[in-house]
Amino acid sequence: MNEVEQRIAELNKLLHEYGHAYYVLDKPVVADSVYDQLLHELIALEEANPSLIYPDSPTQRVGGAVVEGFQKVTHDYPMLSLSNAFDEGDLQEFDRKVRQAIGDHFSYVCELKIDGLAISLKYENGVLAQGATRGDGVVGEEITANLKTIRAIPLRLKEPVTIEVRGEAYMPKASFEKLNAQRLEQNEELFANPRNAAAGSLRQLDPKIAASRQLSAFIYAIGGDGEAYGIDGHAEMLDYLEGLGLPSNKERQRCTTIEEVVAFINKWTDNRGNLPYEIDGIVIKVDRYAHQDELGYTAKSPRWAIAYKFPAEEVVTTLLNIELTV
Ligand SMILES: NC(=O)c1cc2c(=O)c3cc(F)ccc3oc2nc1N
């Protein structure tokens, strides 16, 4: 390898490491100025040596041309939606059905329900090959170019595995405030909430616009059969996906009773305002895959999971009261 090739290889490695620490682990290891300086050095070297551009170089995140529209993709495994629980009674009913089907020796995994939009990511031999929206659950839109602009999404995994994962793309609260402040400046219509802003950003046909929106993502499941990777349960799968370099939400907790689940829900009902992203509930999943297989699915939802939805913010009821009094 000559000197330039060596430096390009070294810059790719460093920027990949620093990017993972900053965007996936939320633990920066160098100052932004150092990252930017190295990135600009790589951009200059790649411009002078286009044949040495790596497909997963950080300079390739904002690539793609502006497209006329998105291709449709059929998911290998349907992207189902979660059934909802609105109060403790619903949770007790869910728990009763689970115990009826698989007995009492199991545990739940509780996760924050990120308020964004569901995405699917396909990696082939470790390289991000396709990204798509949920769509109607069977057919989604191919938005690979836009998802590549999300720095929390690795362009290459730490292992050359072929795997499909599912997760939630979202707009952090800080990005949302900044975006709406800019739109106010430019007399543009404001986004109502971070979820709409994230959806609107990923529907942009120009990846440069998606890149400017500073989205992020959490991965919450594998698409397809986790046991094919020698993994027996969901919590273990999330650890495995983290090991591959994928971002998963660390605020997850194993619970063995609904009482523990309720305690987790109460904790985050009170604390969610301190999170740097919006959540609209808590997802409760039976952990072991063998138990999930026994419980199975309805036409549109897994029977082994449920989403507890937080009550609507009081501001809505206040508005309603005003209307009612007038
Ligand atoms: N928004 C979320 O944070 C979130 C969403 C889902 C799902 O939509 C979901 C849908 C399924 F059919 C099965 C598992 C799931 O797990 C999930 N886990 C999460 N943490």
Q: Is the CB of 302 under 6 A from ligand 1?
A: yes
Longest dimension (CA), the chain: 78
Sign for the CA dihedral angle at 153, 158, 162, 163 comes to: negative
Q: Which atom of ligand 1 is nearest to the CA of 111?
A: 20
Query: Which of 75, 83, 113, 282 for a ligand 1 pocket mutation test, highest count of atoms within 8 Å of Cβ?
Result: 113
Among 291, 324, 314, 320, which Cα is nearest to 101's? Answer: 291
**pLDDT at residue 317 in the model:** 43
- pTM across the whole model: 0.91
Distance 220 CA to ligand 1 centre (A): 7
Q: Is the CB of 109 under 6 A from ligand 1?
A: no
Burial of 212 from C-beta contacts in 10 A (0-12 / 13-18 / 19+): middle
Q: Is the CB of 115 under 6 A from ligand 1?
A: no
Q: Is the CB of 111 under 6 A from ligand 1?
A: yes
**Cβ–Cβ < 8 Å for 42, 53:** no
Question: Is 113 known to be catalytic?
Answer: yes
3-state secondary structure of 257: coil
Q: Of the listed 13, 113, 158, 173, which one is catalytic?
A: 113
Q: How many CA within 13 A on the CB side of residue 214?
A: 11
Report the C-alpha gap between 13 and 44 in whole angstroms: 16
Sign for the CA dihedral angle at 166, 172, 176, 179 comes to: negative
Please state the φ and ψ torsions of residue 32, each to the nearest 5 degrees: -55, -40
Q: Which residue has the least CA distance to atom 12 on ligand 1?
A: 80
Start-end of H helices in 49-121: 88-102
pLDDT tens by residue, the chain, 326 residues:
899 999 999 999 999 999 999 999 989 999 999 999 999 999 999 999 999 999 899 999 887 778 888 999 999 999 999 999 999 999 999 999 999 999 999 999 999 999 999 999 999 999 999 999 999 999 999 999 999 999 999 999 999 999 999 999 999 999 999 999 999 999 999 999 999 999 999 999 999 999 999 999 999 999 988 999 999 999 999 999 999 999 999 999 999 999 999 999 999 999 999 999 999 999 999 999 999 999 999 999 999 999 999 998 755 444 445 444 44
**Cβ–Cβ < 8 Å for 78, 94:** no
Q: Which residue has the least CA distance to atom 8 on ligand 1?
A: 81
**Cβ–Cβ < 8 Å for 131, 147:** yes
